[in-house]
Amino acid sequence: MDTTRYDVVIIGGGAAGLSAATTLSRALRSVLVIDSGTPRNAPAAGVHGYLSRDGMNPRELLAIGRNEVLSYGGTVIDGEAASAQRTTDGFEVMLGDARRFSCRRLLVTTGLTDGLPPIDGLQEQWGKGVVHCPYCHGWEIRGKRIGVLGTGPMSVHQALLFRQWSPNITLFLNDTVEPTDEEWDKLGARSVTVVDGAVASVDAVGGVLTGLTLRQGSSLDVQALAVSTRMEAKSALLESLGLSTQMHPMGSGRFIETDATGATAVQGVYAAGNVSNLMAQVITAAAEGVMAGARINADLIEEETRWAVEGRFGPFSAASEAAVSRIVQGHRHHGLDDAQNATDIGPRAAAKG
């Protein structure tokens, strides 16, 4: 089957992927975004902490982002990337429906999955009455009775953090958390109520969170519940290319390591957003996408400049230069047309002749 070739293929159409695609399209690159349509924040009612877009529905934000990519000549398709492999001149990506696309550089922005404890009713309230980030949801639940579900070492920190938004904080140890003496002092000093015992269920009436029930039978009222999830990068595609996930220093999950510009340990492969930064909010992921896009464009320019230098000192013909020009330009939507290219090439060919 023939493949369609792009300068860059981006796997993942969230904030990071679309921001990178916009940056690269504005740099006159041919860009394809492949999006599975499963954003991490889909259950949330709004995006918060995103300057000028606060409260916007997550899917509306992505729809606007898609349109921006398209306006600069980029391509966005719905699909699931099943595999990727290195080729002699870049990479090839295969979708689940057997479509194939080749590219010179690959950017993965597939995000992460949030692992929740297996407690009845918890998944149903995720993104509604159950939240994880105070900077994303703290304002919306300020002053309410907030429970913090113990899931690991960071739960005490989470309880103290949410204390900024409400004086009514209850930490449920859930047979999982054992505070140190110092942590007990901190919880007591901040008037955080601590409840021992495993949690059996998260309770709701009419879809609205009402409280928690312990295995020993007692129920406690809360109006919101904070949970530290187990965050796991969606890294299968990157791992197939030879990369492996790393444990986060805070023990909150696994991620793909990159440098500050999104470059991975595999040449030509980049990552941005939650797949490489578990703590990134939407605006952070978008910024990382811009950074990765700029780095990829610079990388491509270095490669094209090397081609030009090698061509200058090697065998030359007008035909060979035209061929190089076509490779470099690709199918640009904002580039010069064939007639203009021919005009630009002519004087150089004449000078060299």
Element (H, E) at 4: strand 4-11
Report which residue type is found at 325. Answer: S
Q: Is the CB of residue 169 less than 8 Å from the CB of residue 192?
A: yes
Tokens at 170, concatenated: 């209850």
Rounded CA gap, 83 and 96, in Å? Answer: 8
**pLDDT confidence band for 350 (50 / 70 / 90):** very low
- Sheet containing strand 193-195, edge to edge, reads 130-131, 224-227, 146-149, 169-172, 193-195
Handedness of CA 108, 110, 112, 113 (dihedral sign): negative
Query: Which residues touch 236 (CB under 8 Å, ≥6 apart)?
Result: none
Q: What pLDDT is recorded for position 340? A: 45
Q: At residue 311, what are phi and psi to the nearest 5 degrees?
A: -70, -35
> Is the predicted pLDDT of residue 267 greater than 80, yes or no?
yes
pLDDT digits (tens, 9 = 90+) for 157-200: 999 999 999 999 999 999 999 999 999 999 999 999 999 999 99
pTM given for the model: 0.87
User: What's the mean pLDDT in 284-295?
Assistant: 98
Q: What is the CA radius of gyration of the chain?
A: 25
Q: Of 223, 220, 236, 195, whose CA–CA distance to 108 is shortest?
A: 236
Question: Taking a C-beta distance cutoff of 8 angstroms, is the pair 225, 209 a contact?
Answer: yes
Please tell me the distance from the alpha carbon of residue 268 to that of residue 265, in angstroms, as a whole number: 9
Per-residue pLDDT averaged across 61-83, rounded?
Answer: 97
Span 130-146, mean pLDDT?
96
Q: Helix, strand or coil for residue 49?
A: coil
Distance CA 305, CA 59 (A): 40
